[in-house]
């Protein structure tokens, strides 16, 4: 039977159809959603396949222990949890499943943007505290605005599709994609986005190249005050630069689903000070990295991973 004698370790809480599908293909599957990174390292030499989310980092040390490992796959989009260069040297196939949660990320981005423009969270909190303030919460319509997308991969394309119903102009810059402009989006530059956009949405992967790419220098170069969305990775955006631009009213509002450090209990004093400034600013909307985290995307990610694992066997 296909996959006979091969063992796959699943290290996170994924939809059961992945395990069921792999077992049907003849794989021996260990489903261990509560396993720790150290525990993975202790047994990884037993497995030919590894399925991870974000808690396990598959670097040189892990791969050197993984004497039988043939592939490692990421549930979701972020490949920063895998040392891709070393995996290539070891002959280990690495892949992800961004197709599985792109729609969920796009819907989250749209929801957060509409929330910002219409002061929904602010107004909600005020009413619950007995404050009925209409004029102070007068909103701004998305229609007619220009939206800039930094990177044009799976989530940005899905977001652009959703935005198309709002009569907006969409500009996008992607260093590694060219010729993607169409009736929906105009291929652009970061400079043009800064000159023309009312909304900036980040869809960058986290790499050495993109770390802190969006900082004060770029944010302050925008010709007019704008709204900022980040549903990608926290470390592509410099929090200190963001706060400075909010203080200078160069940014009208920010919606962040991700932070530079998402383990709040581990904050150093500098990180805590920056976080405290974010949470007291009514113009800042924060969610706990839930863009892409839907019931539908959980199933779809499992379907995509199953399809891709089957494709390499």
SS3 125: helix
Residues 6+ apart with CB under 8 A from 89: none
d(CA 244, CA 170): 26
15 is catalytic: no
Q: Is 167 a catalytic residue?
A: no
Quick one: CA dihedral 97, 163, 165, 196, positive or negative?
A: negative
Instruction: Tell me which of 233, 252, 260, 300 is the catalytic residue.
Output: 233
Query: In the chain, which ranges are continuous DSSP H helix?
Result: 16-24, 37-43, 60-65, 84-90, 102-117, 120-128, 154-163, 190-196, 216-219, 239-247, 269-279, 295-311
Instruction: Please pick, among 262, 271, 283, 303, the residue that the annotation labels catalytic.
Output: 262
Long-range contacts formed by 82-90: CB under 8 A, 24+ apart: 82/52, 82/57, 82/58, 83/58, 83/59, 86/59, 86/60, 87/58, 87/63, 90/63
Angstrom distance (rounded) from CA 170 to CA 64:
45
Nearest-angstrom CA–CA distance, 221 and 218 = 5
Active site residue 233: yes
Find, among 11, 17, 5, 98, the residue nearest to 57 by Cα: 11
Give the active site residue among 65, 244, 283, 289.
289
Among all residues, which ones are annotated catalytic? 233, 262, 289
């Amino acid at each position: 039977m296909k996959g006979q004698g091969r063992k796959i370790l699943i290290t996170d809480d994924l939809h059961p159809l992945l395990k069921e599908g792999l077992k049907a293909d003849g794989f021996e599957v260990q489903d261990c959603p509560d396993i720790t990174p150290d525990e993975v390292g202790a047994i990884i030499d037993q497995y030919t396949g590894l399925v991870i989310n974000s808690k396990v980092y598959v670097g040189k040390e892990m791969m050197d222990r993984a004497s039988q490992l043939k592939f490692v796959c990421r549930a979701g989009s972020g490949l920063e949890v895998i040392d891709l260069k070393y995996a290539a040297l070891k002959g280990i196939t690495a892949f992800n499943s961004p197709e599985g949660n792109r729609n969920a990320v796009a819907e989250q981005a749209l929801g957060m943007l509409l929330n910002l423009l219409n002061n929904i969270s602010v107004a909600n909190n005020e009413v619950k505290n007995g404050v009925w303030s209409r004029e102070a919460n007068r909103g701004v319509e998305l229609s007619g605005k220009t939206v800039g997308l930094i990177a044009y991969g799976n989530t940005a394309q899905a977001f652009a599709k959703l935005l198309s119903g709002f009569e907006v102009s969409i500009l996008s810059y992607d260093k590694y994609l060219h010729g993607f402009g169409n009736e929906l989006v105009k291929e652009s530059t970061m400079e043009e986005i800064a000159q023309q956009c009312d909304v900036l949405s980040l869809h960058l992967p986290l790499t050495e190249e993109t770390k802190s790419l969006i900082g004060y220098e770029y944010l302050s170069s925008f010709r007019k005050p704008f709204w900022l969305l980040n549903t990608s990775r926290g470390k592509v955006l410099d929090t200190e630069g963001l706060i400075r631009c909010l203080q200078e009213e160069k940014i009208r509002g920010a919606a962040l689903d991700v932070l530079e450090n998402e383990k709040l209990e581990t904050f150093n004093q500098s990180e805590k000070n920056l976080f405290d400034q974010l949470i007291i600013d009514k113009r800042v909307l924060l969610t706990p990295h839930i863009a892409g985290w839907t019931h539908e995307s959980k199933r779809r990610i499992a379907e995509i991973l199953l399809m891709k694992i089957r494709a390499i066997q």
